[in-house]
Structure 1
Amino acid sequence: MDQPTQPATEEGTIQVLLVEDDERLARLTSRYLQEHGILVTIVRTGPEGLAEASRHAYDVILLDLMLPGRDGMEVCRELRTRSDVPIIMVTARGEEADRVLGLETGADDYLAKPYSSRELLARIRAHVRRARGRSGPSTQPLLVGKLSLDPRSLSATLDGKTLPLTTYEFGLLRVLAERAGRVLSREQLLDLVKGNAEEVFDRSVDVHIFRIRQKIEEDPRNPKLLKTVRGAGYMLATGDDT
């Protein structure tokens, strides 16, 4: 395992776990990120990635799909059972089905190889800003019926119970809560929830809406809170609507 060597930036240390079995790519990616103030730890197998993620709290995990020991999908799925750390899936397989599967498994973002180092850096910083509560100007709690969202801690509760949302799911639900009672198209949601690969992947909105409904609806197949308006988009119902 290669440990980080760069000092912290003025904005605070960003620590990244890179799980990548391609040694040359891992070295090049690590070098570029460290030149821009990101601390990078490299591991090369799925089991090593799980072990390292358990030992240390990272700001972002860059996770290759094809890994020895356990593949990226398995690693991502297990990480999601115990952590909300932003996960960016990095893989040479860029087909739509793979992107959908990665997002359904719990990844927050998706980059296909070969990727731009500058784009990767921008996405890492965007995820960190979101996770640290600096993604938007408003930090006031949002209340929509029995749903409460706290932008400072990126936490949400429904009827007093904490919702296990990922950072992207929280961002999507926040956008809907800020406009409760209004229908938002997929394109509007993609534009409002920035900083992820989903900006160019329309179907991912449906995947995330599905996952959010599993967490907030009594009957996800008959949603009362997060509604679909056929041919138009999605709407979060106000307290009066429910």
Structure 2
Amino acid sequence: MNKLTLSILLIEDEKHIRRFVRTELESRDMSVHEAGTGKEGLIAAQTRRPDLLIVDLGLPDMDGLDVIRQVRAWSDMPLIVLSARSREDEKIAAFEAGADDYLTKPFGTGELIARIHALLWRTHRHAEARTNEVRFGDIRVDLNDRRVTLADEPVRLTPVEFRLLAMLIRNAGRVLTHQQLLTEVWGPSHARDTQYLRVYMGNLRHKLERDPAQPIHFVTETGVGYRLVGLQPRE
């Protein structure tokens, strides 16, 4: 990418954190706009249409979760939460509101930048690969023809297993909560049936991971949900 083509909107009320993050991101050729309140951030998000949004949850005028929900009402722009809230239920609430990733304060700028790059890459690949074959490791999946191969050998998935796999692929790199996966794959009436999800995720790992006991693609986010990692660009 050319210099200063990545635009970041940072919604954070603590000035020293805004200054710190802005300095680090601008040193890596990103353009950063700051907002100190939720209201200012929502206006900036609509007018500036940034490539990525970073949101603190503890804002002075409104909860960051409400900011996320209002943004998600009109945009699917990549969104990272940067917050001191560290409990699992707080992280789950953020993901269910529409966050793509979550970084807990205090944080390292190296990790923040790595997550920004990973999320922007995932978003770009997702846009390109919606109707095409995708690949991660030795696994190839044709979402249109519902074909799956491992090291060029066909893999037979049940309809439910394929729906779960497709959901993870379409959100590759993003944490999906248990409730999100259950609702999308099995329906709203099964939103609390986490045993279903554990069983079928185990099936996918046994069929597609080289070592199901130490998965490298179907990653567990403890207490929150699952994330698909390793989606590769098209050749």
Fold similarity call, TM over 0.5: yes
Match of 1:90 among 79, 82, 89: 82
What are structure 2's unaligned runs of at least 5 residues? 135-142, 149-155, 205-235
Match of 2:57 among 65, 76, 80: 65
Q: What's the offset of the Cα at 1:206?
A: 1.1
- Check whether the contact 2:81–2:101 (CA below 8 A) recurs between aligned residues: yes
Q: Is the 8 A contact 2:4 2:31 kept in 1?
A: no
Amino acid at match of 2:78: P
State the superposition RMSD in angstroms: 3.7
Query: Partners in 1 of 2:10 and 2:197 — Cα distance?
Result: 40
Please state how far the C-alpha of 1:211 moved relative to its aligned partner.
5.2
Report if the CA contact (8 A) 1:20-1:45 is conserved: yes
Q: 1:24 aligns with which of 8, 16, 19?
A: 16
The corresponding residue for 2:157 is 181
Q: Which amino acid aligns with 1:111?
A: L
CA distance in 2: counterparts of 1:23 and 1:114, whole angstroms: 15
Q: How far is 1:37 from its partner?
A: 1.1
Corresponding residue number in structure 2 for 1:206:
178
C-alpha distance in 2 between matches for 1:115 and 1:33: 14
TM-score (norm 1): 0.62
State how far apart, in whole Å, the 1-side matches of 2:100 and 2:38 are.
Answer: 18
The 1:126/1:178 distance shift into structure 2, 3 A limit, reads farther
Paired residue secondary structure (1:69): coil
State the TM-score, normalizing by the size of structure 2: 0.64
- The one-letter amino acid of 2:131's match is P
Sort the Cα spacing of 1:229 and 1:77 in 2 relative to 1 into closer, same or farther, 3 A. Answer: closer
Match of 1:165 in 2: none
Counterpart in the other structure of 1:160: none
Quick check: 1:21–1:45 contact (8 Å CA) kept in 2? Answer: yes
Cα distance in 2 for partners of 1:134, 1:103 equals: 18
CA distance in 2, matches of 1:123, 1:21: 21
Q: Which amino acid letter does the alignment assign opposite residue 58 of structure 1?
A: P
Aligned partners of 1:102, 1:66: CA distance in 2, in Å? 12
Q: Does the 8 Å CA contact 1:14/1:128 hold for their aligned counterparts?
A: no
Would you say the 8 A contact 2:183–2:189 is kept in 1? no
Q: CA deviation at 1:234?
A: 7.6
Q: Which amino acid aligns with 2:69?
A: R
In structure 2, the partner of 1:162 is none
Q: Identity rate of aligned residues, in percent?
A: 29
SS in 2 for 1:129: helix
Listed one character per residue, the Cα deviations across residues 57-82 of structure 1 (whole Å, up to 9, x for unaligned) are 11110000000111101110111111
Q: Distance in 1 between matches of 2:64 and 2:188?
A: 28
Report the counterpart of residue 101 of structure 1 in structure 2.
93
Superposed CA offset, 1:169-214 (max 9, x none): xxxxx7xx66482548x9xx98997645x4xxxxx4413314534x
- Deviations for 1:55-109, whole angstroms, at most 9, x for unmatched residues? 0211110000000111101110111111001111110011101000001111111
1:112 paired to 2:104 = yes
Which of the pair is proportionally richer in helix?
2
Structure 1 segments unaligned to the other structure (5+ residues) = 1-8, 143-149, 152-173, 199-203, 237-242
Runs of 4+ aligned structure 1 residues displaced above 6 Å come to: 189-193
Indicate whether 1:79 and 2:71 are aligned.
yes
Asked if the contact 2:54/2:82 (under 8 Å) is kept, the reply is yes
Question: How far apart in 2 are the matches of 1:57 and 1:36?
Answer: 20
Q: For residue 48 of structure 1, what is the amino acid of its counterpart?
A: E
